[in-house]
Copies of this chain bind each other. A is one copy, B any other.
């Protein structure tokens, strides 16, 4: 009862920020539908992947997980159990688990490491337990560990239906990466861990005066972006993604715990994107809950965008990403 999986993070084009009130059940039901690209690194020394091995065995004395070489405990281990406990129950297995997981990219720096990690975890766990679940079903279980992990159960472009219950809040594939040619030039200005986790941020979203209008707009924009992806319309996808990202950061900065994920360097990259667009390069930015910037453009423009940004003093490095293939199990185990 051992299996391994590879999964990728995703970059949200329409953001998830803030949760429905579910009476404290921890369902991670978002306020609005969201849309993302699951991303695979093709340059910059990182394929952007989580590799996770899960084993269930009667000989394991307690549930344990080693993440990036460090044994996790407390709240972190609880989050892992939120995903695995229901899967164990479905499979009728009571054994403890042992997990190892590694990322080839920075953890907790707004690059969606938890999305990659929890989707790999859900996939490897269900495989180790011999369960035959659809990706949509699996996505609901990954969601319990980290909301945005729901979208990493598919490759390509993905739509997360917010739903109103555990079963109805799942991710669906919009299309494979091949039909909408998009690259993300990821501009890394800080690889450190975030000061305040997104988890706390989600809980405070409702305290911003802009939360309600952001939610309403995002719900509409999710549908518009889905259509535009299917129409191969970069201008619509990019311009909506850029403003949707600004809406989220406006909510963050105006919450009662003001979250300024942007750094000075983040603003410099934003201004570079504006300047490139004025010069005729079709490029848009989007920023998750961290200081790093994703620059969305056509694959043929990615080298120029990368070249423009990677030479700037305030940029640590860049990674070019394309739509990833579906997450999958592999035979290579970590222990």
Residue A180 lies at the interface, judged by CB distance under 8 Å to chain B: no
Q: Are A254 and B247 in contact (CB under 8 A)?
A: yes
Q: How far is the CA of A329 from the CA of B292 in the complex (A)?
A: 53
Residue A86 lies at the interface, judged by CB distance under 8 Å to chain B: no
Which of A26-34, A76-84, A113-121, A258-266 forms contacts with chain B? A258-266
Residue A200 lies at the interface, judged by CB distance under 8 Å to chain B: no
- Given the interface contacts A209-B217, A213-B210, does A267 sit within 8 Å of B263 by beta carbon? yes
Which of A15-23, A48-56, A94-102, A268-276 forms contacts with chain B? A268-276
Residue A246 lies at the interface, judged by CB distance under 8 Å to chain B: yes
A260-304: CB near B (< 8 Å → 1, else 0) gives 101111111011001000000000000000000000000000000
Q: How far is the CA of A270 from the CA of B263 in the complex (A)?
A: 10
Nearest CB on B from A308, distance (A): 17
Q: Are A267 and B262 in contact (CB under 8 A)?
A: yes
Residue A250 lies at the interface, judged by CB distance under 8 Å to chain B: yes
Q: Are B260 and A270 in contact (CB under 8 A)?
A: yes
Within 8 A of B (CB), among A227-257: 243, 246-247, 250, 253-254
- Given the interface contacts A264-B263, A264-B265, does A253 sit within 8 Å of B254 by beta carbon? no
Nearest CB on B from A147, distance (A): 23
Nearest CB on B from A134, distance (A): 36
**Residue contacts A-B, CB under 8 angstroms, 8 given:** A209-B213, A209-B247, A260-B270, A260-B271, A264-B265, A264-B266, A266-B267, A267-B267
What is the interface of chain A, defined by CB distance below 8 A to chain B? 209-210, 213-214, 217, 243, 246-247, 250, 253-254, 258, 260, 262-268, 270-271, 274, 314
Given contacts A209-B247, A264-B265, 15 further A-B contacts (CB under 8 A): A213-B213, A243-B254, A246-B253, A246-B258, A247-B254, A250-B250, A258-B274, A260-B267, A260-B271, A260-B274, A262-B267, A263-B264, A263-B267, A264-B266, A264-B268
